[in-house]
């Protein structure tokens, strides 16, 4: 059940206060369009009006015109995934979870639950980009687990044993969660986990061991071999989802922190740290003759004037504007990094020397021609100066310094131009 963004979310709730709070939270944090219905009749009209538009419905279990939860069966019959809102937590709710394809239920104790709902919806909305691998020799078991995971819109892969699991992981190295059976032929769960942990730490990929053999010794074995969690069959659907979601969230947060460490917070480009980490590897390859490397240094002309005349907010918009143009104009394999302030560095791999000037000059002209539109009354023309170094040198630092020297020459020669490094830099 794959979600296609953007789509709408349906809330059916007779309390205007609760529906308004939920609507504000969901539209504000996730950016989805929320349609609110106060009863079952209004819900039917909304579904008919917005046919095939809802990726999810949040339903009050007791409505004035549907006091026994009739709304749940109706919405499920329309192939819309369901989250239940209820005033009570009892066995009836658990039975519903087991009998019907309900994603989750939330007890309306206090407003803190709204954050849980928002986080849950955010997860469901983005799960299509998250990959899970099921490793189990039982086809029936794989189908059951796949069904549960796909209800939460996850991208699911399967393997019948550890050897096949390793092959799938090799093809999809961005898998976030593996759910593996312990008892399997060819390679059991323990050996499979050991192999996975040779390449992926617990922070990079989460593993849940699963088995019908419920014993403390087995859970310890799996955890000691590198599993993050253990689940014994048979299990409640709620427990399965809690374990799976917690493990996926852990990997998501780790990846976000790792990405933040190498990303410029303002422009979304790589930062100086990433440039030197990745650039050093490229430089070493260039030294061995495997690739060629070209360095470009770019500086926004008269950037201080933009800040002084229009404020730092407009200066931030200018940096984002230039960054977007660079990402559009340059090749996918080029590394673009913000060095600090209004200065950027570009590393180009295997750039044809005959096309170097053409590439950077096209970028310069594109920046000059595309005005920064702040509002109807404020449109700012911007230019950049560019320094280029291509060829061999003793270090990446030296290459960047030479490109910086060429940038200085471009600035001194009148700005809005490119300059190539040589013994005595010359402008063009």
Active site residues: 342
Using left for φ > 0, alpha for ψ between -120 and 50, and beta otherwise, residue 242 falls in alpha
Rounded distance, CA 25 to CA 14, Å?
18
Consecutive H or E run containing 42: helix 40-49
How many angstroms separate the Cα of 128 from the Cα of each of 181, 240, 259, 334?
24, 19, 20, 28
Strand order in the sheet with 8-12: 33-37, 8-12, 54-60, 82-86, 102-107
How many angstroms separate the Cα of 235 from the Cα of each of 21, 59, 239?
34, 25, 7
Q: Which segments of 13-144 are extended strands (E)?
A: 33-37, 54-60, 82-86, 102-107, 131-135
Dihedral sign from CA coordinates of 64, 68, 70, 72:
positive
Buried b (16+ CB within 10 A) or exposed e, 241-261: bebbbebbebbbebeeeeeee
Q: How far apart are the first and last CA of the chain?
A: 56
Rounded distance, CA 212 to CA 218, Å?
10
φ/ψ (deg, to 5) at 59? -120, 130
Residues in contact with 222: Cβ distance below 8 Å, sequence separation at least 6, in sequence order: 182, 189, 190, 193, 209, 211, 230
What burial class does residue 389 get, using C-beta atoms within 10 Å of its C-beta: 0-12 exposed, 13-18 middle, 19+ buried? buried
């Amino acid at each position: 059940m794959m979600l296609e963004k953007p789509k709408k979310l349906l809330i059916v709730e007779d309390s205007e206060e609760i529906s308004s709070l939920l609507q504000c939270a969901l539209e504000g944090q996730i950016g989805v369009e929320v349609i609110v219905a106060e009863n079952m009749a209004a819900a039917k009209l909304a579904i008919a009006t917005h046919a095939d538009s809802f990726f999810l419905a949040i339903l009050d279990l007791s409505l004035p015109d549907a006091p026994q939860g009739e709304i749940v069966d109706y919405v499920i019959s329309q192939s819309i995934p369901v989250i239940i809102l209820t005033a009570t937590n009892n066995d009836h709710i658990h039975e519903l979870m087991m009998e019907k394809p309900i994603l989750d239920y939330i007890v309306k104790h206090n407003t803190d639950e709204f954050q849980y709902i928002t986080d849950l919806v955010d997860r469901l909305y983005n799960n299509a980009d998250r990959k899970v691998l099921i490793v189990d020799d039982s086809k029936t078991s794989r189908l059951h687990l796949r069904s549960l995971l796909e209800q939460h819109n996850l991208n699911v892969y399967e393997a019948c044993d550890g050897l096949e699991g390793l092959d799938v992981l090799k093809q999809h190295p961005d898998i976030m969660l593996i759910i593996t059976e312990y008892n399997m032929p060819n390679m059991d769960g323990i050996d499979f986990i050991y192999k996975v942990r040779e390449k992926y730490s617990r922070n990079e990929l989460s593993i849940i061991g699963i088995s019908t053999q419920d014993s403390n010794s087995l859970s310890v074995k799996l955890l000691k071999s590198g599993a993050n969690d253990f689940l014994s069959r048979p299990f409640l659907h709620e427990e399965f989802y809690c374990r799976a979601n917690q493990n996926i969230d852990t990997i998501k947060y780790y990846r976000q922190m790792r990405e933040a460490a190498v990303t410029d917070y303002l422009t979304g480009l790589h930062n100086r740290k990433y440039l030197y980490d990745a650039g050093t590897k490229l430089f070493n390859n260039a030294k061995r003759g495997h690739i060629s490397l070209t360095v470009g240094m770019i500086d926004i002309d008269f950037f201080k004037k933009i800040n002084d005349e229009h404020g730092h907010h407009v200066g931030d918009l200018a940096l984002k504007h230039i960054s977007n143009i660079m990402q559009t104009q340059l090749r996918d394999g080029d590394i673009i990094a913000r060095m600090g302030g209004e200065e950027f560095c570009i590393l180009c791999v295997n750039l044809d020397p005959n096309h170097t000037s053409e590439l950077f000059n096209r970028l310069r002209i594109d920046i000059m021609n595309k005005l920064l539109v702040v509002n109807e009354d404020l449109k700012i023309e911007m230019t950049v100066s560019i320094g280029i170094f291509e060829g061999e040198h003793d270090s990446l630092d030296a290459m960047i310094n030479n490109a910086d020297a060429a940038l200085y020459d471009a600035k001194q020669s009148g700005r809005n131009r490119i300059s190539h490094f040589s013994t005595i830099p010359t402008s063009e």
